[in-house]
Amino acid sequence: MADVNAPVGARPPAGAGRFGLRDLTVEFGATRAVNKVTLEIQPGEIVGLLGHNGAGKSTIVNVASGALAWTSGQIRIDGAPIPRGSSPRSIAELGVTVIHQEPALAGNLSVLTNLFLGRRRSGALTARRQRAQAALREVGGESIPLDVPVSTLSLGQRQLVDLARGALSGEIRVLMLDEPTAALGVAETASLHALIRSYAKKDAAVVYISHRLVDILDVCQRIVVLESGEVVLDRSAAGLSLAELSQALAPGVVHQELVGTARAEEVVRVDLPGGRIDARAGEVVGLFGMAGGEQLTVLESLFGVGPKLPTWLDGQPHTPKRPGDALRRGIFMVPPDRDRDGLLADFSGKTNVMLPWLRGSKSAWWFDRRTGASIYQNSREVLNVQGPGGEVPVTTFSGGNRQKHLLARWMFPAKPRLLLLGQPTQGVDVGAKVDIVRAVRLLAADGVCVLVASSENDEIASMCDRAYVLRDGRVAPVERGPEMATALLDALLQLSGPSGDRPRPVETN
Amino acid sequence: MRPISMDRLKIMLVQNGVFAAMILMAALFGVLNPRFLSWQNAVTILQQVAELGVVALPVAFVVMTGQADLSVGSIATLGAVLGGLTLVGTGNAAAGVAVTLVFGLVAGALNGFLVAYLRLNSFVVTLGFLSVWGGIAMVLTNGKTLTGLPDDFKAFGTAKLVGIPVQIVVLAVVVAVAGYLLNRTAKGQEILAIGGNARAAELMGIRVQRTQMQVFIAAGVFAALAGLMLATKLAAVSPTVGSGMELKALTVVLLGGVSFAGGYGRIGGVAAGLLFVGVLNNGLVILGVSPFIQTVLVGATLVAAVLMDSSIQRFVSAAWANRGKRLAEAQRLGRERPASQQTQEVNA
């Protein structure tokens, strides 16, 4: 272990990490996004950081780059701790560079201006141009013109500009990439990986976050898996296969036996260009696709908010204009992003569950503390909600319990005919996952038809009777079986191209 | 009685800060001039702020949805002018009132349509109409005060209902309806939901645009009504009768703790804000302070209100987070909570 008190910039003692986290903890209100994470990365090492959404990966990157404050613990570069409350600029000057999926550049300004934005002592214009060209050359972007607006560049080029900004600060000692290839093509991904390797050769410590396991296996030497803010796996990538990796990613998923409860009547049908999706009453059907892919579009279309797809409900054409039309027909949707699209932050837990149901009931013109109290209490019991009473703001609850509130809203006050779930167990802890799966199966046993859209194969495999894999309008059915999670991934790879090309990003509109 | 935790107590204190400030200020004025604390003066204060309250409470709902309405001052003016012209022309009080209210409805609907359906910025739209309606009022009256209103109409301005001036009765009704609407109906919660998270509200099936339109219409109708109330009180219609009202109303709303970003507000707070402004104005008059100073103080109050808005929000959310953290910690440690606190959790 390095000397904690060594001044910043001093050479590290032999064997010390280039980049280290020591008991790092980050809290947002009552939620612990990162819980005592300790990690040591050696110079020249490329570490793949994996985990489901909400596991804490991006939080670590944001904390280490100065965009967020941490609660306790230490972050060290070459053994020297970064003072808490350091500005992003002073951290950048220590040699920490972060590449985001969508680079944070001012699109309307030129490449040259962006390279020097927020930098002190920029120097004369000609000197600046030379330094900018040198930095772009270093990152392999010498073909990028200096005087065009950044918005005219491709995404790959913008990432290079972002990287060149880091190169301008001096030696890149720590390079962090947050989902850098999520929207890149094959060629751009390959050249980015080559660049990452060249920085590793120059003794940078690299943290590589990605959902794309193929990319992780391509470039990383070590794999660290986070689950609910804690490191659950830390091992060498050598000899790791894709299937093993996807298994390792789901340490907490409980593959329980599901009892099929499907009935004969078809509830919903969706026609896509490349196939048909249907689901019967009492059945839980998964829709699996790339992150942000068309599985969500299917849900939104059925709920009346997305693009219109040809859909049928109980054999009748279903053309909802707005959510109200879907709600009247018993179609309820749990959106994937609970805090952005689902919950009302300042509202109490109970009001968050009951609000859509006040209208049209006798409570519409008079409700008080007792309104819906028993429904709320019952749903809390079914979903095993932990936390304070129902009258405190819903933000007081932890992530998993907030998710349970959102689910409770659409599962219990009224019985759905068709329940649409977008990533229902995303970013919740293992215990909450089990509770949620149990509640969903309970509803299915009661004859509700459930569609679960997810970009995580384990989420589908943990609760669905069968699934469809969606990609560029094509549809492939996957039946339930012991290897369902792997079968889903295989099917997605097969849909991706005739030559077994690796997954390309789906265009989301 | 339900036990109250320190966090809850702090939240209550901060949320009712305006009310406490108002009481302190009244006490100060009372010490400086005992005449201030008379029953008669209390009635006078309420009478003075009645029209402002009728304008401000619907504006509070607009702000709760995350929008602003700066046009209400001119809607009050032009509403009064149109009503006054009808009254003088026809001598029919009902026709005058109808014309005023219809104008308020149209003006509010116009704001609502442009903001909700065409997604224009409410600040800009209503600032524009502040100028438009105010200008039309000047054109119609040629800048002169309208007199010759029918006597039965003027009598309304001094009328009393069981000994209470009619303006105060109207104010009380508006406050009560607003409180009921916000706290006891689905519509009130939906209005707050829209201001708090419009996307989430829409995905709950709430008709966001329609509701937005409704609150702007309410603001327009009540502003026009307030203009008419001022006309009866003054027994004449001046083409500047409502000018400045929009800023005073916004001051009251923000003083009352309504979040300028939308999503949070309490009618009790707005009522306290209204009383604060009333006490301030009345007290300064009684102390014989220059009217120019009053303007300065109203402006300073607005800044203080915005400052308080942000710090209150920060404080309240910090207090709640604190509470949640302690509960979560207690659960993590599996510690038994004291019995008294447990009852409170169950009741909470």
How does pLDDT run across A33-58, given as a tens digit for each residue?
888 999 999 999 999 998 876 788 88
Contacts of B347 in chain A (CB under 8 A): 389
One domain, residues A53 and A129? yes
One domain, residues A486 and A423? yes
Contact B194, B208 (CB under 8 A): yes
Q: What is the pLDDT of residue A66?
A: 87
- List Cα–Cα distances, B256 to B61, B93, B177, B181, B305, in angstroms: 12, 35, 17, 17, 8
List the single residue in A30, A333, A346 with the smallest CB-CB distance to B196: A346
Single out the residue of B106, B81, B64, B49 nearest to residue B245, CA to CA: B49
A398 and B347 in contact by Cβ < 8 A?
A: no
Q: What is the pLDDT of residue A324?
A: 94
Residues in contact with A5: Cβ distance below 8 Å, sequence separation at least 6, in sequence order: none
A344 and B196 in contact by Cβ < 8 A?
A: yes
Nearest chain A alpha carbon to B344: A389
Residue linked to tokens 């120097």: A123
One domain, residues A162 and A223? yes
In a domain, A193, yes or no: yes
Does A260 or A201 have the greater pLDDT score? A201
Contact B62, B215 (CB under 8 A): yes
Q: What is the mean pLDDT of chain B?
A: 87
**CATH number of the CATH domain containing A294:** 3.40.50.300
| B321 interface with A at CB cutoff 8 Å | yes
The stretch B92-117 carries a mean pLDDT of 96
Q: What is the pLDDT of residue B343?
A: 40
CA B272 remoteness from chain centre: 10
The stretch B69-84 carries a mean pLDDT of 97
In a domain, A182, yes or no: yes
A398 and B186 in contact by Cβ < 8 A?
A: no
B320 and A327 in contact by Cβ < 8 A?
A: no
CA A275 remoteness from chain centre: 27
- List Cα–Cα distances, B59 to A200, A282, A295, A445, A507, in angstroms: 60, 48, 42, 49, 43
One domain, residues A299 and A434? yes
A335 and B203 in contact by Cβ < 8 A?
A: yes
| A381 interface with B at CB cutoff 8 Å | no
| B196 interface with A at CB cutoff 8 Å | yes
B203 and A30 in contact by Cβ < 8 A?
A: no
Domains along the sequence of chain B with CATH: 6-330 (1.10.3470)
Give the residue numbers spanning the domain of A485: 266-341+416-495
How far off is chain B from A397, nearest CA to CA, in Å? Answer: 7
Confidence band (pLDDT; 50, 70, 90) for B155? confident
For a pLDDT cut of 70, what percent of chain B falls above it?
A: 86
Asked whether residue B330 carries a pLDDT value surpassing 70, the answer given is no
B206 and A356 in contact by Cβ < 8 A?
A: yes
Poorest-pLDDT segment among A271-280, A330-339, A491-500, B38-47 = A491-500
**For A102-121, how does the pLDDT look when each residue is reduced to its tens digit (9 = 90+)?**
788 888 899 998 888 877 66
Nearest chain A alpha carbon to B329: A30
Contact A405, A385 (CB under 8 A): yes
Q: What is the mean pLDDT of chain A?
A: 85
**For B224-275, how does the pLDDT look when each residue is reduced to its tens digit (9 = 90+)?**
999 999 999 999 999 999 999 999 999 899 888 898 889 989 999 999 999 9
B197 and A343 in contact by Cβ < 8 A?
A: yes
Contact A18, A12 (CB under 8 A): yes
B221 in helix, strand or coil?
Answer: helix
The stretch B5-24 carries a mean pLDDT of 74
Question: What whole-number distance in Å separates Cα of residue B8 and Cα of residue B10?
Answer: 5
How far off is chain A from B240, nearest CA to CA, in Å? Answer: 39
Q: What is the pLDDT of residue A388?
A: 82
Does A117 or A454 have the greater pLDDT score? A454
The residues facing A27 across adjacent strands are: A32
In a domain, A73, yes or no: no
In a domain, A18, yes or no: no
Confidence band (pLDDT; 50, 70, 90) for A458? confident
Q: What is the pLDDT of residue B137?
A: 97
A235 in helix, strand or coil?
Answer: strand
CB B29: neighbour CB atoms within 10 A? 21
In a domain, A323, yes or no: yes
Poorest-pLDDT segment among A83-92, B250-259, B269-278, B297-306 = B297-306
The stretch A14-18 carries a mean pLDDT of 67
| A30 interface with B at CB cutoff 8 Å | yes
One domain, residues A180 and A59? yes
Domains identified in chain A, total number:
2
In a domain, A10, yes or no: no
Q: What is the pLDDT of residue B7?
A: 65
| A375 interface with B at CB cutoff 8 Å | no
Contacts of A356 in chain B (CB under 8 A): 204-206
Evaluate if pTM is beyond 0.80.
Answer: no
**For B196-226, how does the pLDDT look when each residue is reduced to its tens digit (9 = 90+)?**
999 999 999 999 999 999 999 999 999 999 9
A323 and B197 in contact by Cβ < 8 A?
A: no
B203 and A323 in contact by Cβ < 8 A?
A: yes
Asked whether residue B304 carries a pLDDT value surpassing 80, the answer given is no
For a pLDDT cut of 70, what percent of chain A falls above it?
A: 91
Contact A213, A219 (CB under 8 A): no
One domain, residues A142 and A275? no
CA A385 remoteness from chain centre: 23
DSSP A482: T
How far off is chain A from B167, nearest CA to CA, in Å? Answer: 27
One domain, residues A240 and A271? no
A392 and B328 in contact by Cβ < 8 A?
A: no
Asked whether residue A189 carries a pLDDT value surpassing 90, the answer given is no
How far off is chain B from A400, nearest CA to CA, in Å? Answer: 13
One domain, residues A139 and A57? yes
Q: What is the pLDDT of residue A1?
A: 39
How far off is chain B from A357, nearest CA to CA, in Å? Answer: 9
Q: With a CB-CB cutoff of 8 Å, which residues 279-318 of chain B face chain A?
A: 317
Contact B223, B58 (CB under 8 A): yes
Contacts of B342 in chain A (CB under 8 A): none
In a domain, A167, yes or no: yes
Asked whether residue B335 carries a pLDDT value surpassing 50, the answer given is no
Contacts of B345 in chain A (CB under 8 A): 388-389
In a domain, A470, yes or no: yes
One domain, residues A144 and A291? no
The stretch A459-467 carries a mean pLDDT of 93
Contact A162, A100 (CB under 8 A): yes
DSSP A182: T
ipTM of the modeled complex: 0.83
Confidence band (pLDDT; 50, 70, 90) for B57? very high
Q: With a CB-CB cutoff of 8 Å, which residues 401-430 of chain A face chain B?
A: 409
**For A352-385, how does the pLDDT look when each residue is reduced to its tens digit (9 = 90+)?**
999 999 987 888 888 888 888 999 999 999 999 9
One domain, residues A140 and A213? yes
Q: What is the pLDDT of residue A122?
A: 63
Q: Which of A248, A278, A311 is the last residue of a domain?
A: A248
| A51 interface with B at CB cutoff 8 Å | no
One domain, residues A306 and A234? no
Confidence band (pLDDT; 50, 70, 90) for A84? confident
Q: Tell which of A28, A72, A337, A346 to mutate to test the B interface (max B CBs under 10 Å).
A: A346
One domain, residues A198 and A284? no
| B48 interface with A at CB cutoff 8 Å | no
Asked whether residue A507 carries a pLDDT value surpassing 60, the answer given is no
Choose the most confident range, by mean pLDDT, from A113-122, A211-220, A334-343: A334-343
